[in-house]
Structures are given as structure tokens and as C-alpha cells.
Amino acid sequence: MVMQEQSSAIIETTPYYQNITNEEEIFRQAWQHQLPVLIKGPTGCGKTRFVQYMAHALNLPLYTVACHDDLSATDLVGRHLIGADGTWWQDGPLTRAVREGGICYLDEVVEARQDTTVVLHPLADDRRELFIERTGESLRAPDNFMLVVSYNPGYQNLLKGMKPSTRQRFVAMRFDYPSFEQEVHIVATEAGVDEKLAAQLVRLGHAIRRLENHDLEEVASTRLLIFTARMIKAGLPVRQACMACLAEPLTDDAQTVAALMDVVDVHF
């Protein structure tokens, strides 16, 4: 049995989310029209935070599943388990969300096994139906059910990209790193540092992002800039914080780490 990271919750306090463009309006319209949403964007750019913010704004429980390459349709839908009193059925996170209503958010959906598309397709189009093969049950999603998926189109290989037939069932939004001013505000707020330090880090982040096509598979995300700012706030020397939170997480190659630290030295 493959366990996956999952959680569901009513989000009690308003998550801090800095609107970037019209994403909230598009999401609300999709919700009102019972359409599923696909969010594409690089890692750490705010996709998950946005979904949490929208779940709170719409007063919906949020069921989050972090997809990985072993995640199967069974993991999403549910399975029979053996207990002291015999076998019993346990709903997976997708089934729970369909039964109880709420947002089911499949993070990095393209990582999941291909068989998941068989359950997602009828749920994502106007049938809004979940068929549970093992119990023969067919569930119609309630009005307050919404399917949201995300993935990072940057580092997927061709085989792992989302199939057009799946993509075309969703209202799709492209996220990217925020503008300079927005990102400074996010880093300052999330790390509790002043805007001067946040601006220095965001400038450094931009410089690293310009290296993307050279040596790095992924670039410095907003998340990493926030981690760095938190470490500096906690008293770690700037260079050490940048090494631990930016350079080392971005690459395993010692030479590339050294090159990234040269960029750090230009900025601090």
C-alpha cells in the first residue's frame, strides 16, 4: 500500500495571499460555474497558498494530495482494509471530498500514475461523477465539490506532461514568480523582515533566475527567498544563510554552488 501525504481541513484563519493579477476572479468564476481548475507554474511560486486562500474565501474544506510517481487511482479513490472485524472500505481523499464537498487539490498531478486519469476525467467534465470500481458505487459530485490540480510545466519530461485530453477539461491559469514589488512585500511579510533586506534578497533571486538556462534545473523560488530571509532574521550570517537556503538547495554540483555564491557576494 502506498501512503500519500494528504490532509483536509477547514482553514480557520485567512491565509496571507498577495494577489498577482486576476487569479481570484477567474477562480471564483470557475467555482460558480462548477468548472475544475488547473494551475501551472514553477515550484514555490504560490500555487498552494493561493488554493488555501481560495478555500478559505469560499468557506470550503480543502483536501490536499501531494502526488508522486507511485500514486495510483486506488490511493485517490480508496481501498478495502483488513481489520479485526474483517474487511472494511476506506475512502481515499478524492472520494471523501466528493462525498463531503470541498476542494480536492492534487498538487503536482502529472507525477501521479496514468491510471488516475481514468477517475479524474469523468469528474472533471460535466458528468461530475466518481466511479468506485471496487465497490461498484457511482458518486455524483455535489455542487460544492471542486477539483483543482497543479503542476510545474518547467521540469516535466515529455512523457510526464499533462495529456491534452486531460488539460482541456480544466480552466487553466499560468502562475509565475511575482513582480519585484510584490515579491518584496511577500518576502518581508512571510519572513517578518524589513523591506530593505527583502529587496536585496529579491534582487539576488532575480539574478539567480537569469541563470536558469545555464546550470540550474530550477531557480530560486519565492519560498527559498523566504527561508533565507528567516534564517538571516534568526541571526545566521547572510552568506551562510544564502549558502544553506539558496545555493545548496538549487544544485548538487559543487562548482555551481560556488558560482551561485559569487552571485551572492555581488549582492551583499
Question: Which residues contribute to the site for ligand ADP (CB under 6 A)?
Answer: 16-18, 20, 41, 43-49, 178, 186, 190, 222-223, 226
What is the distance between the terminal CA atoms of the chain, rounded to a whole angstrom?
49
State in angstroms the smallest separation of the CB of 133 from ligand ADP: 31
The whole-angstrom separation of Cα 23 and Cα 8 is 23
Nearer to ligand ADP, 91 or 190 (CB): 190
Residue nearest to ligand ADP (CB): 46
Nearer to ligand ADP, 129 or 212 (CB): 212
State in angstroms the smallest separation of the CB of 90 from ligand ADP: 27
State in angstroms the smallest separation of the CB of 223 from ligand ADP: 4
HEC readout, 49-75: HHHHHHHHHCCCCEEEEECCCCCCHHH
- Which residue, among 70, 48, 127, 129, has the nearest Cα to 94 in the 3D structure? 129
Q: Is 155 exposed, middle or buried (0-12, 13-18, 19+ CB in 10 A)?
A: exposed
State in angstroms the smallest separation of the CB of 36 from ligand ADP: 17
Nearer to ligand ADP, 63 or 91 (CB): 63
Nearer to ligand ADP, 13 or 255 (CB): 13
> Cβ neighbours of residue 206 under 8 Å, at least 6 residues apart?
180
